[in-house]
Amino acid sequence: MYDEIEKNLETVRRNIAAACERSGRSPDDVLLLGVTKTIDCDRISRLVELGVNSLGENKVQELMSKIDKLPASVDWHLIGSLQTNKVKYIIGKVSLVHSVDSLKLAAEISKRSLKAGVVTDILIEVNAAEEESKHGFGVSEVYDAVEAMRELEGIKVRGLMTIAPYDENGQNNRPYFRKMRELFIDIKAKNGDNIDMTFLSMGMTNDYETAIEEGANIVRIGTGIFGERNYNTGGNK
């Protein structure tokens, strides 16, 4: 089991390095985020031992159940849909919230962060493919969302995130990743106040190489490292 994790991780790292070489970038510029949804703490600990210290959880309850069981050095990210009534649990516990998909959620994070005396880094989730089943701002809505979030204290917009359509051929998602890169660059040109565009989180197990080629600097890999999950408890590749 542990050997499989190490072998898979080596493959992922090689693929990241190759994608970076193809796009004229350094592998050091890309953060590998290990997605730990439904994964037990023993296997997660092995991944941390192998040098992956940034981990992403989809659900608040699962995140909170794992934080105290894993090293304090782990850098936790919340990558799944976040309900406003769950925000209070993750303030000060995660370094980055990837899934801010509404102004209402941004406002709640702002309120809770101010109350706790912290600034919470967030990414704006973009529904790049305009899928009805996906959360996030439409491409045309992103600019207005950024301007609205400029007014919110207690948060800092650090970039954009998208979940592209699932496709066995990750190359098919290139247009969505390219559009995300264009949005990222446009917004970055207007940094200021609480907008500091640094992170472009896109690409999962099936398409992370294409995402890197198009500018991703955070890729979210779960199945590619741990193997297929038990989807009876929910899953995300």
Q: How do residues 166-190 score in pLDDT, each as one tens digit?
A: 998 999 999 999 999 999 999 999 9
Full-model pTM: 0.94
**What are the distances in angstroms from CA 164 to CA 33, 131, 183?**
17, 9, 15
Three-class DSSP category at 38: coil
Q: Is the pLDDT of residue 27 over 90?
A: yes
What confidence tier does 230 reach under pLDDT thresholds 50, 70, 90? low
Q: What is the fold, at CATH topology level, of the domain defined by 2-227?
A: TIM Barrel (3.20.20)
Q: How do residues 122-146 score in pLDDT, each as one tens digit?
A: 999 999 999 988 999 999 999 999 9
Helices (H), 50-172: 60-67, 87-90, 103-116, 142-149
